[in-house]
Amino acid sequence: KRLILIGPPGSGKGTQSPLIKDEFCLCHLATGDMLRAAVAAKTPLGIKAKEAMDRGELVSDDLVVGIIDEAMKKPSCQKGFILDGFPRTVVQAQKLDEMLARQGTKIDKVLNFAIDDAILEERITGRWIHAASGRSYHNKFNPPKVLGVDDVTGEPLMQRKDDTAEVLKSRLEAFHRQTEPVIDYYSKKGLVANLHAEKPPKDVTTEVQKALS
Ligand code: AP5
Ligand code: ZN
Protein backbone atom coordinates (compact mmCIF):
# COMPACT_ATOMS: atom_id res chain seq x y z
CA LYS A 1 0.00 0.00 0.00
CA ARG A 2 0.97 3.64 -0.51
CA LEU A 3 0.12 5.59 2.61
CA ILE A 4 0.42 9.08 4.03
CA LEU A 5 0.35 9.84 7.76
CA ILE A 6 -0.73 13.38 8.63
CA GLY A 7 -1.05 14.82 12.12
CA PRO A 8 0.33 17.53 14.40
CA PRO A 9 3.62 17.13 16.31
CA GLY A 10 3.29 14.39 18.91
CA SER A 11 0.12 12.89 17.42
CA GLY A 12 1.75 9.44 17.14
CA LYS A 13 2.83 9.14 13.49
CA GLY A 14 6.32 7.90 14.34
CA THR A 15 4.97 5.55 17.01
CA GLN A 16 2.49 3.81 14.70
CA SER A 17 4.75 3.71 11.62
CA PRO A 18 6.90 0.67 12.54
CA LEU A 19 3.77 -1.36 13.31
CA ILE A 20 2.17 -0.48 9.98
CA LYS A 21 5.48 -1.17 8.27
CA ASP A 22 5.81 -4.62 9.80
CA GLU A 23 2.27 -5.61 8.92
CA PHE A 24 2.13 -4.30 5.36
CA CYS A 25 5.83 -4.68 4.56
CA LEU A 26 6.37 -1.16 3.37
CA CYS A 27 9.18 1.30 3.49
CA HIS A 28 8.92 4.08 6.06
CA LEU A 29 9.98 7.52 4.86
CA ALA A 30 9.96 10.16 7.60
CA THR A 31 11.19 13.53 6.34
CA GLY A 32 11.78 14.73 9.92
CA ASP A 33 14.05 11.72 10.68
CA MET A 34 15.92 12.17 7.39
CA LEU A 35 16.39 15.89 8.01
CA ARG A 36 17.62 15.29 11.59
CA ALA A 37 20.16 12.77 10.26
CA ALA A 38 21.34 15.36 7.72
CA VAL A 39 21.65 18.02 10.44
CA ALA A 40 23.65 15.64 12.67
CA ALA A 41 25.97 14.76 9.78
CA LYS A 42 26.29 18.47 8.83
CA THR A 43 25.62 17.72 5.15
CA PRO A 44 24.79 20.69 2.84
CA LEU A 45 21.12 19.71 3.16
CA GLY A 46 21.37 19.61 6.96
CA ILE A 47 23.05 23.00 7.10
CA LYS A 48 20.23 24.50 5.01
CA ALA A 49 17.48 22.84 7.08
CA LYS A 50 18.76 23.35 10.62
CA GLU A 51 17.63 26.92 11.33
CA ALA A 52 14.02 26.41 10.27
CA MET A 53 13.82 23.13 12.21
CA ASP A 54 15.20 24.69 15.39
CA ARG A 55 12.57 27.43 15.15
CA GLY A 56 9.76 24.92 14.53
CA GLU A 57 9.11 26.20 11.02
CA LEU A 58 8.87 24.15 7.85
CA VAL A 59 11.92 23.81 5.64
CA SER A 60 11.48 24.74 1.97
CA ASP A 61 9.29 22.63 -0.30
CA ASP A 62 12.15 22.15 -2.78
CA LEU A 63 14.43 20.61 -0.14
CA VAL A 64 11.92 18.05 1.14
CA VAL A 65 10.52 17.20 -2.29
CA GLY A 66 14.11 16.48 -3.36
CA ILE A 67 14.65 14.16 -0.38
CA ILE A 68 11.44 12.23 -1.06
CA ASP A 69 12.04 11.99 -4.80
CA GLU A 70 15.45 10.46 -4.09
CA ALA A 71 14.29 8.15 -1.27
CA MET A 72 11.36 6.72 -3.22
CA LYS A 73 13.75 5.29 -5.81
CA LYS A 74 14.91 2.67 -3.29
CA PRO A 75 13.91 -0.84 -4.41
CA SER A 76 12.23 -1.47 -1.03
CA CYS A 77 9.86 1.44 -1.72
CA GLN A 78 8.68 0.28 -5.14
CA LYS A 79 5.75 -1.81 -3.92
CA GLY A 80 4.53 0.55 -1.25
CA PHE A 81 5.54 3.08 1.37
CA ILE A 82 4.52 5.08 4.41
CA LEU A 83 5.12 8.81 4.17
CA ASP A 84 5.42 10.16 7.73
CA GLY A 85 5.53 13.96 7.89
CA PHE A 86 5.26 14.49 4.13
CA PRO A 87 3.48 16.17 2.34
CA ARG A 88 3.03 19.08 4.73
CA THR A 89 2.01 21.80 2.26
CA VAL A 90 -0.39 21.72 -0.67
CA VAL A 91 2.56 22.38 -3.00
CA GLN A 92 4.31 19.26 -1.64
CA ALA A 93 1.11 17.25 -2.17
CA GLN A 94 0.86 18.42 -5.78
CA LYS A 95 4.52 17.57 -6.43
CA LEU A 96 3.99 14.13 -4.91
CA ASP A 97 0.99 13.52 -7.18
CA GLU A 98 3.13 14.43 -10.20
CA MET A 99 5.92 12.13 -9.01
CA LEU A 100 3.52 9.19 -8.59
CA ALA A 101 1.75 9.90 -11.89
CA ARG A 102 5.10 9.53 -13.66
CA GLN A 103 5.38 6.04 -12.11
CA GLY A 104 1.77 5.21 -12.92
CA THR A 105 0.83 4.85 -9.24
CA LYS A 106 -1.16 6.80 -6.66
CA ILE A 107 -1.85 7.16 -2.95
CA ASP A 108 -4.18 4.52 -1.44
CA LYS A 109 -4.97 6.12 1.90
CA VAL A 110 -4.26 9.15 4.06
CA LEU A 111 -4.38 8.50 7.82
CA ASN A 112 -5.32 11.67 9.68
CA PHE A 113 -4.08 11.57 13.29
CA ALA A 114 -6.78 13.88 14.68
CA ILE A 115 -6.08 15.15 18.19
CA ASP A 116 -6.62 18.20 20.38
CA ASP A 117 -3.64 20.58 20.67
CA ALA A 118 -3.92 20.61 24.49
CA ILE A 119 -2.73 16.99 24.79
CA LEU A 120 0.43 17.48 22.78
CA GLU A 121 2.72 19.42 25.11
CA GLU A 122 2.97 16.55 27.60
CA ARG A 123 3.67 14.08 24.80
CA ILE A 124 6.34 16.25 23.22
CA THR A 125 8.21 17.28 26.35
CA GLY A 126 8.27 13.67 27.67
CA ARG A 127 9.57 12.13 24.46
CA TRP A 128 12.94 10.38 24.18
CA ILE A 129 14.23 9.09 20.86
CA HIS A 130 16.80 6.68 19.51
CA ALA A 131 18.32 8.95 16.90
CA ALA A 132 19.68 6.30 14.53
CA SER A 133 16.40 4.40 14.08
CA GLY A 134 13.86 7.14 14.85
CA ARG A 135 12.25 4.93 17.56
CA SER A 136 10.51 7.04 20.14
CA TYR A 137 9.66 6.51 23.80
CA HIS A 138 7.87 8.54 26.44
CA ASN A 139 8.94 8.77 30.07
CA LYS A 140 5.32 8.27 31.16
CA PHE A 141 3.29 6.75 28.30
CA ASN A 142 5.85 4.39 26.75
CA PRO A 143 8.97 4.10 28.92
CA PRO A 144 11.98 2.09 27.69
CA LYS A 145 12.87 -1.06 29.65
CA VAL A 146 15.92 0.71 31.05
CA LEU A 147 15.72 4.46 31.63
CA GLY A 148 17.54 6.44 28.91
CA VAL A 149 18.44 3.34 26.86
CA ASP A 150 17.02 2.02 23.55
CA ASP A 151 15.29 -1.39 23.99
CA VAL A 152 16.60 -2.79 20.70
CA THR A 153 20.20 -1.58 20.42
CA GLY A 154 21.07 -0.68 24.03
CA GLU A 155 22.27 2.71 22.76
CA PRO A 156 21.52 5.93 24.65
CA LEU A 157 18.31 7.88 24.03
CA MET A 158 18.20 11.63 23.48
CA GLN A 159 15.70 14.48 23.40
CA ARG A 160 14.99 16.43 20.23
CA LYS A 161 16.10 20.05 20.19
CA ASP A 162 12.67 21.19 18.97
CA ASP A 163 10.78 19.27 21.71
CA THR A 164 10.26 22.25 24.02
CA ALA A 165 6.94 23.85 24.95
CA GLU A 166 8.12 27.06 23.26
CA VAL A 167 9.09 25.56 19.87
CA LEU A 168 5.98 23.36 19.95
CA LYS A 169 3.90 26.55 19.62
CA SER A 170 5.47 27.40 16.24
CA ARG A 171 5.25 23.79 15.09
CA LEU A 172 1.52 23.75 15.88
CA GLU A 173 1.04 27.07 14.13
CA ALA A 174 2.79 25.69 11.04
CA PHE A 175 0.58 22.61 11.21
CA HIS A 176 -2.69 24.54 11.35
CA ARG A 177 -1.74 27.09 8.74
CA GLN A 178 0.20 24.99 6.20
CA THR A 179 -0.63 21.31 6.77
CA GLU A 180 -4.35 21.26 7.57
CA PRO A 181 -5.11 22.39 3.99
CA VAL A 182 -3.36 19.18 2.86
CA ILE A 183 -6.04 17.17 4.72
CA ASP A 184 -8.73 19.03 2.73
CA TYR A 185 -6.77 18.38 -0.46
CA TYR A 186 -6.97 14.60 0.11
CA SER A 187 -10.51 14.69 1.57
CA LYS A 188 -11.73 15.99 -1.78
CA LYS A 189 -10.19 12.90 -3.35
CA GLY A 190 -11.98 10.68 -0.80
CA LEU A 191 -8.73 9.28 0.61
CA VAL A 192 -8.80 10.38 4.25
CA ALA A 193 -9.43 8.10 7.24
CA ASN A 194 -9.77 9.98 10.53
CA LEU A 195 -8.22 8.39 13.62
CA HIS A 196 -8.82 9.18 17.29
CA ALA A 197 -5.16 9.86 18.01
CA GLU A 198 -5.78 10.82 21.65
CA LYS A 199 -6.50 7.16 22.51
CA PRO A 200 -3.81 4.85 23.97
CA PRO A 201 -1.26 3.57 21.40
CA LYS A 202 -2.84 0.07 21.14
CA ASP A 203 -6.27 1.51 20.37
CA VAL A 204 -4.81 3.77 17.71
CA THR A 205 -3.13 0.72 16.15
CA THR A 206 -6.53 -1.02 16.03
CA GLU A 207 -8.04 2.00 14.27
CA VAL A 208 -5.17 2.03 11.78
CA GLN A 209 -5.72 -1.65 11.00
CA LYS A 210 -9.44 -1.06 10.47
CA ALA A 211 -8.75 1.87 8.16
CA LEU A 212 -6.37 -0.24 6.07
CA SER A 213 -8.35 -3.47 5.88
P1 AP5 B 1 8.92 15.79 12.25
O2 AP5 B 1 10.03 14.97 12.74
O3 AP5 B 1 8.03 15.24 11.19
O4 AP5 B 1 8.07 16.26 13.51
P5 AP5 B 1 6.50 16.45 13.74
O6 AP5 B 1 5.62 16.44 12.57
O7 AP5 B 1 6.45 17.68 14.55
O8 AP5 B 1 6.04 15.18 14.39
P9 AP5 B 1 6.66 14.45 15.62
O10 AP5 B 1 7.76 13.56 15.21
O11 AP5 B 1 6.94 15.48 16.70
O12 AP5 B 1 5.39 13.65 16.12
P13 AP5 B 1 4.90 12.15 15.87
O14 AP5 B 1 3.50 12.25 15.39
O15 AP5 B 1 5.85 11.33 15.08
O16 AP5 B 1 4.85 11.67 17.38
P17 AP5 B 1 5.47 10.36 18.09
O18 AP5 B 1 4.86 9.13 17.53
O19 AP5 B 1 6.94 10.42 18.15
O20 AP5 B 1 9.47 17.18 11.69
C21 AP5 B 1 10.43 17.94 12.40
C22 AP5 B 1 10.77 19.19 11.61
O23 AP5 B 1 11.37 18.82 10.35
C24 AP5 B 1 9.61 20.10 11.23
O25 AP5 B 1 9.28 21.00 12.26
C26 AP5 B 1 10.17 20.79 9.98
O27 AP5 B 1 11.03 21.83 10.33
C28 AP5 B 1 10.96 19.70 9.31
N29 AP5 B 1 10.16 18.93 8.33
C30 AP5 B 1 9.88 17.59 8.38
N31 AP5 B 1 9.12 17.23 7.32
C32 AP5 B 1 8.92 18.35 6.59
C33 AP5 B 1 8.20 18.62 5.40
N34 AP5 B 1 7.53 17.64 4.72
N35 AP5 B 1 8.19 19.90 4.92
C36 AP5 B 1 8.86 20.88 5.56
N37 AP5 B 1 9.56 20.70 6.70
C38 AP5 B 1 9.58 19.43 7.22
O39 AP5 B 1 4.86 10.55 19.56
C40 AP5 B 1 5.21 11.64 20.39
C41 AP5 B 1 5.37 11.19 21.84
O42 AP5 B 1 4.11 10.74 22.35
C43 AP5 B 1 6.32 10.01 22.01
O44 AP5 B 1 7.03 10.18 23.20
C45 AP5 B 1 5.40 8.77 22.08
O46 AP5 B 1 5.97 7.75 22.87
C47 AP5 B 1 4.14 9.36 22.71
N48 AP5 B 1 2.92 8.75 22.17
C49 AP5 B 1 2.69 8.38 20.88
N50 AP5 B 1 1.44 7.89 20.74
C51 AP5 B 1 0.85 7.98 21.98
C52 AP5 B 1 -0.46 7.65 22.47
N53 AP5 B 1 -1.41 7.14 21.66
N54 AP5 B 1 -0.72 7.88 23.78
C55 AP5 B 1 0.25 8.42 24.59
N56 AP5 B 1 1.50 8.74 24.17
C57 AP5 B 1 1.79 8.52 22.87
ZN1 ZN C 1 7.76 11.75 14.13
Mean pLDDT of 133-151: 94
- Alpha carbon of 178 to ligand 2 centroid (Å): 17
Confidence band for 23, pLDDT divided at 50, 70 and 90: confident
* CB of residue 28 inside a 6 A radius of ligand 1: no
Complex ipTM > 0.90 = yes
Confidence band for 25, pLDDT divided at 50, 70 and 90: low
* CB of residue 10 inside a 6 A radius of ligand 1: yes
* pLDDT of amino acid 26: 77
Torsional class of 194: left (φ above 0), alpha (ψ -120 to 50), beta (otherwise): beta
Residue 48 known to be catalytic: no
Q: What is the amino acid identity at position 33?
A: D
Cis check: omega of the bond before 9, within 30 degrees of 0: no
* pLDDT of amino acid 71: 94
Q: Sign of the C-alpha dihedral, residues 138, 150, 47, 17?
A: negative
Q: Sign of the C-alpha dihedral, residues 54, 57, 59, 64?
A: positive
Mean pLDDT of 2-27: 91
Q: What is the pTM of this model?
A: 0.96
